[in-house]
Structure 1
Amino acid sequence: MRITVTSVLVDDQEKALAFYTDLLGFVKKHDVPAGGARWLTVVSPEDPDGVELLLEPSGHPAVGPFKEALVNDGIPFTSFTVKDVQAEYDRLRGLGVTFTQPPTQMGPVTTAVFDDTCGNLIQIAAM
């Protein structure tokens, strides 16, 4: 068993696609109409056949309160691995990304948390 697709719940798929590709550097893998939304996935350019991130529409009534509670408590929805948290923090801040937590060392792990503009906090981390 392996993970093929994981999701992040987004308020606007087009805005999410721009953020996750133009700013974070992921590449679009699939874009298929699915009713009123799309099966829209992105992947790391370093692993184009790896795990896909589904930019999942957040239309279900439970999603809004769930996302709001996570953001209010400062809890990231998911985490991405980077080689150098400080360098990625500096790069993303230069592109206008808003961070809620600057690079912070926690034992052997350094993390930072940013707002993805689509209703989520996302953590970046490096060992």
Structure 2
Amino acid sequence: AVVPDALLDVLRGGLGERSAPFWAQTRYDALGATSHWFDVSTPPTNAIEAYARYVLLPLTGIASQVVGVEWWAHTRAEGRSVGHPMHFDTEEVSLMRGELLHPLVSSVTYLC
């Protein structure tokens, strides 16, 4: 997908540098990545939600079935880019009930 330049600039400005406010505001150093939920029936409140709504959702082919977007962000120091541990995206509450639910769509975006 082609991200509009203005939106890409906002995303990079908000997340691209370790000194960006997002990392301190979410206490990333203490907590690591925290998960956020965007209800797609509501207007986006930040650049990541706008990216999900206006860039990613139209690409799914099933946007009318999508009720929300779970998102999070990671940052890695140069030379320490070991990545995120292998995992499967699941809905944890359902998992506790013995159900195994996965998202309809998953996406990874790198801001380099």
TM-score (ref. length: structure 2): 0.27
Question: Which structure has the highest strand share of the two?
Answer: 1
Question: Which structure has the highest helix share of the two?
Answer: 2
